[in-house]
Structures are given as C-alpha cells and as structure tokens.
Amino acid sequence: MGEFGNRVAVVTGGARGIGKAIVRLLHQNGCAVTVLDSDKQTGKVLEKEFDGCRFLAADISDFAQVQKAVRAVYEKNGRLDFLVNNAGITGDGLIVRMREEDWDRVLAVNLKGAYNCIHACLRYMLKCENAAIVSISSVVGETGNAGQANYAASKAGLIGLSRSVAKEVGGRGIRVNVVAPGFIHTEMTDDLSDEIRASYLARLPMKREGTVEEIAAVVSFLLSERSSYITGQVIGVNGGLYP
C-alpha cells in the first residue's frame, strides 16, 4: 500500500516539472493525488500516466475556483491530508521596466494562489491526524535576484505565509513547511543558453543541477510522519547555492 496508503493530497501545478515528480512519488507510495492545474491537455495525459490520479482544471489565483475544486476533492475522498503548493510562474524584467500586470499576475499565482489553497484545504485537514502542508519557494526568495523582483517577492512571501500558518495550526497537529529549490533541471532550464547555465554552475559548490526527484524526495519526507516534529522550517535543496 505504501507509506501514504489511504492518504489524500492536493498538488498544485502538478502536471510537469517538480510538481509532476512530486505527484509520481506520492502516487507510488499509495497516496490518492488530485492535481490542480490550468493545463487541461497535460492534465489528461497525467491521469493516463498515473492510474487513479485525478486532474481538476483550476486557476489557483481565483478564490472561488479553488474553493470549488477542493470541496470536490473532499467530497470524493472523504478526507484531505496533504497540500503541496507547487504552482508558480515567472514574469521577469528589471523593476523600472516591469509592467504592473506582470507584477500582479506573478503575485496572484505564486502567493495568493497558495493562500487560496491553504484557506480552502485547512477546514478539511483539521479533521485528519498528521496533516501537512508543503509550499515550494525558491532560493531566489531568500537571496533576491536582479530582474526577478516579482518572483522573489512572491517566493519570499510564501516563507512568511507558511511560518505564520505553522504557528496558527501547530496546536491542531498540522505541520507547515517550505522547500526552497536552487538550480533544478526542468523544462524551463532547458531553454537557458550555455553561457547562463555555466554561470549558475560556477556558483554551485556541488557543480551540478539538482533533479526534480531530489525535490520530490524532500517534499515526501516533510509530508510523512518521519518529520513529525518539523514545522515552520525552510529546507534549502540547492547544492549550496547561498549568497
């Protein structure tokens, strides 16, 4: 049955990259996973690839859509144990040139989306024992990055949000933690030039990109009872990429 047999999870942005690796690992360990994502086509492929995995199309920046989707998850499964806030977008540009809509959209998806999901899920998670939330931030949320003020602000906001919620619900047995990846090999990094990739690798003590499976392994640990006394923490999975 696996470590997460009879447990139910919602994973946002789980149709590709880090999110898909998280879905795969939870599914392999017996968890009933529902993915909230806006990419319907990829979602259909995901359901075929992972038998029993459910896809619900939703814009997580929309409060009402998230409430409806999460309610559907609970009504189908009768419980909700885990939430992984993985969905995220970028809209890069120097701050003096950044359009207001790029700022608003990145914050709406990356930060408000996490709020929407936490707000919707908690009422059901409070009914379960050993429930847990993990949000995917970024090393950029800790260090900042030129040309990514909106993205860095949203990812830093996830840390403050998560630590605050951890204090609110810790007494009810719900753990809330953050994983902050560094330079991870995904479809997005495939588009980087050799020069930019080399510049990143030069800053890494481990001299290689991380893998989505390495991120998923840490998320799985933080959801599991093996991390039963860990909450309000930021776990950097970054190969030593610090200031």
- Locus of tokens 């090393």: 139
- Rounded Cα–Cα distance for residues 162 and 233 (Å): 9
Q: Of the residues 74, 115, 124, 151, which is catalytic?
A: 151
Strands 8-12 and 32-37: parallel
| Helix residue ranges, H only, 176-230 | 187-190, 194-203, 212-223
In the residue annotation, 151 being an active-site residue is answered as yes
Which residues are within 8 A (CB) of 8 and not within 5 positions of it... i.e. 6 or more apart? Answer: 31, 32, 33, 34, 73, 77, 79, 80, 81, 82
Which residues are within 8 A (CB) of 182 and not within 5 positions of it... i.e. 6 or more apart? Answer: 138, 139, 204, 210, 236, 237, 238, 239, 241
Structure token digits, residue 89: 């977008």
Crossing angle of helices 100-107 and 149-169, in 10° steps, is 30
Q: Which residues are catalytic?
A: 151
